[in-house]
Copies of this chain bind each other. A is one copy, B any other.
């Protein structure tokens, strides 16, 4: 399974970026390869194409499945498992986003909650509590909002994004309309 020059560049790049995106080089490369290949790929084909060990390939595929970016695809009559992207580009982007939120924000949110519980009795550092509170609230808003956005679904989200600077106008507008009877949050 030879990679075309274009695919090769893209795969290499996704490898480089891999670590910034929360996984490692190999995982990034495998993802790119699967996404850019029209047909399902077997683990061995992936290992060959990327010149990596079979073991590493297996780990990488497991990781990608845990991120729900890649899924197995059984071809009837075949013994091997094949792999394909778990959805459209849009779905994949969403999954990365969500998964990262889980890994990057949730743990901090939970620590902050704990610290805010424990501390009042024990400490006199008011200012620190305030700061922690502020961080907590911000992270909580972001989390809630990102969930909200995901619930909108692709089409509406697209509308919203295409709206661009129009968002500002719509907000002003809404203020006028609902002035005084804004449903709290």
Contacts and interface: CB of A to CB of B under 8 A. Distances in A.
Contact of A22 (B7, B20, B129): B20
Nearest to A90: B138
A129 B6 CA distance: 9
A130 to B, nearest CB: 10
State the number of copies, please. 2
A75 interface: no
A6 B119 contact: yes
A41 interface: no
Question: Which of the four size classes fits the interface of chain A?
Answer: 35 or more
Contact of A167 (B38, B135, B158, B160): B160
A132 interface: yes
B111 A13 contact: yes
Interface string A145-185: 10011011000101111111111101100110000000101
Contacts of A52: none
Contact of A104 (B21, B118, B148): B21
A58 interface: no
Contacts of A185: 162, 164
Interface string A4-46: 1111011001100100111000000000000110100000000
Nearest to A183: B166
A107 to B, nearest CB: 7
Contacts of A14: 108
Given A21-B104, A135-B89, A115 B10 contact: yes
12 contacts: A9-B111, A21-B104, A35-B131, A36-B128, A89-B138, A141-B161, A144-B161, A144-B164, A145-B160, A148-B165, A152-B167, A152-B168
Ranked 5 nearest A-B pairs via Cβ: A145-B161, A89-B134, A13-B111, A20-B104, A141-B161
